[in-house]
Amino acid sequence: MQLEYFQLIDRIVDLNIDDKTIVVEADVPQTNTIFEGHFPGHPIMPGVLLTEAMAQSSGWLLLGLMKFERMPFLAMIKEAKMRGFVNPGEVLTIDAKVEHEGSGFAVTSAQVRVGKELKCNAELTFRHIPFPHPDLRVHMDAMAKKIGFPLQALAHD
Amino acid sequence: MSSTFEQIANIIAETCDIPRDTIKPESHAIDDLGIDSLDFLDIAFAIDKAFGIKMPLEKWTQEVNDGKATTEQYFVLKNLADRIDELVAAKNAGTGTASGS
């Protein structure tokens, strides 16, 4: 997890194109300036970053379903529930599932767990468009490689 | 069973918090009801689910942008209801995808 670059996902554990699900992991850093302010004496992962982690997990799933031909952008967050504190050094397991594929948009549900404990969940809506700049596509390809995106999963159509 | 228009109007009222009695068959979703593109995504999600279809929003938008269609054809609610009925009929007839795109 590189919070300064908003790179919240470390590993893709499972991607199931047929079931339209993904499981990823993210290592919350032990130290970060964010924790100095959020909060002194009680450092916890901000809810907005947990929500972003769910969005990025969903985003990788949608990128896979769209074979990296279009880029999803977060458009709507519903029913986001922060159910428990996430502490520095913990490992997040994030599950996301596509609930609906519309025309130019998709809806996912996602949840974050630490161990077996559910920490937060939300329903997320994304607009998706063709990659707006070639640099973004290059970046996403590099990130996909870095987090172990199983490109072979896209080739089984 | 309620009409397609009634179902759409109820979805819009609930999704956008618009008084149901202000939503008429002649209402234009954008010009009269003030629904923006983000709210329309929410409406599209609800309509897709309710009718088991995939409204081809991108295709419709492209047609409007290309001057091949007017917004009234898709966003005046009685016309939207007709488009939905067509999509449902196509789905039930098994003629390709329900999305038309």
**pLDDT tens digits for range B42-62:** 999 999 999 999 999 999 999
Tell whether B100 is covered by a domain: no
Q: Which range of residues forms the domain containing residue B28?
A: 4-93
- Structurally, chain B folds into a number of domains equal to 1
Tell me what pLDDT residue A117 has.
97
Q: Map tokens 């920490």 to a residue.
A: A119
Tell whether B98 is covered by a domain: no
Interface residue A123 vs chain B (CB under 8 A): no
- Contact across the interface for A104 and B57, Cβ inside 8 Å: yes
Where b means 16+ CB within 10 Å and e means fewer, A132-152 reads eeeeeeeebeebbeebebeee
What residues contact residue A99 under an 8 Å CB cut-off, 6+ apart? Answer: A107, A108, A109, A123
Rounded to an integer, what distance in angstroms lies between the CA atom of residue B24 and that of residue A42?
Answer: 54
Work out whether the CA dihedral A34, A36, A40, A43 comes out positive or negative: positive
How many other C-beta atoms are found inside a 10 Å radius of the C-beta of residue A34? 16
Rounded to an integer, what distance in angstroms lies between the CA atom of residue B98 and that of residue B84?
Answer: 10
What residues contact residue B37 under an 8 Å CB cut-off, 6+ apart? Answer: none
For residues A68-84, average pLDDT: 96
55-94 of B, contacting A, C-beta below 8 A:
55-59, 61
125-154 of A, contacting B, C-beta below 8 A:
125, 127
Please, are residues A101 and A147 in contact by the beta-carbon 8 Å criterion? no
- Angle of the A47-65 helix axis to the A134-146 helix axis, nearest 10: 100
Tell whether B99 is covered by a domain: no
Q: How sure is the predictor about B101, in pLDDT bands with cuts at 50, 70 and 90? A: very low
- Contact across the interface for A103 and B49, Cβ inside 8 Å: no
Tell whether B101 is covered by a domain: no
Tell whether B58 is covered by a domain: yes
Interface residue A74 vs chain B (CB under 8 A): no
Q: How sure is the predictor about A149, in pLDDT bands with cuts at 50, 70 and 90? A: very high
Q: How sure is the predictor about A153, in pLDDT bands with cuts at 50, 70 and 90? A: confident
Question: How many A-B residue pairs are in contact by the CB < 8 A criterion?
Answer: 37
Read off the CATH number of the domain in which B79 is found. Answer: 1.10.1200.10
Q: Where are the domains of chain A?
A: 3-146
Closest residue of chain A to B44, computed from CA coordinates: A102
Is there a cis peptide before residue B75, judged by omega within 30 degrees of 0?
A: no
- Contact across the interface for A75 and B41, Cβ inside 8 Å: yes
- Contact across the interface for B41 and A127, Cβ inside 8 Å: yes
pLDDT digits (tens, 9 = 90+) for B66-97: 999 999 999 999 999 999 999 999 999 886 55
pLDDT digits (tens, 9 = 90+) for B11-42: 999 999 999 999 999 999 999 999 998 999 99
Which residue among the candidates A38, A100, A139, A156 is catalytic per the annotation?
A38
- Report residue A14 as tokens: 């499972």
- Contact across the interface for B41 and A76, Cβ inside 8 Å: yes
Q: What is the ipTM of this complex?
A: 0.84
Rounded to an integer, what distance in angstroms lies between the CA atom of residue B54 and that of residue B49?
Answer: 8
- Report residue B76 as tokens: 């005046």
Rounded to an integer, what distance in angstroms lies between the CA atom of residue B28 and that of residue A23?
Answer: 42
| Best CA proximity match to A84, nearest among A47, A40, A126 | A47
Q: Which of B16, B40, B45 to mutate to test the interface with A (most CBs of A within 10 A)?
A: B45
Q: Which fold has domain A3-146?
A: Thiol Ester Dehydrase; Chain A (3.10.129)
For residues A10-36, average pLDDT: 96
Tell me what pLDDT residue A157 has.
52
Percent over 70 (pLDDT), chain A: 99
Please indicate whether residue A38 is annotated as part of the active site.
yes
CA distance B56 to chain A (A): 5
Kindly list the distances between the CA atom of residue A105 and the CA atoms of A30, A116, A141, B55, B82, in Å, as whole numbers in the listed order: 36, 31, 21, 11, 22
pLDDT digits (tens, 9 = 90+) for A83-112: 999 999 999 999 999 999 999 999 999 999
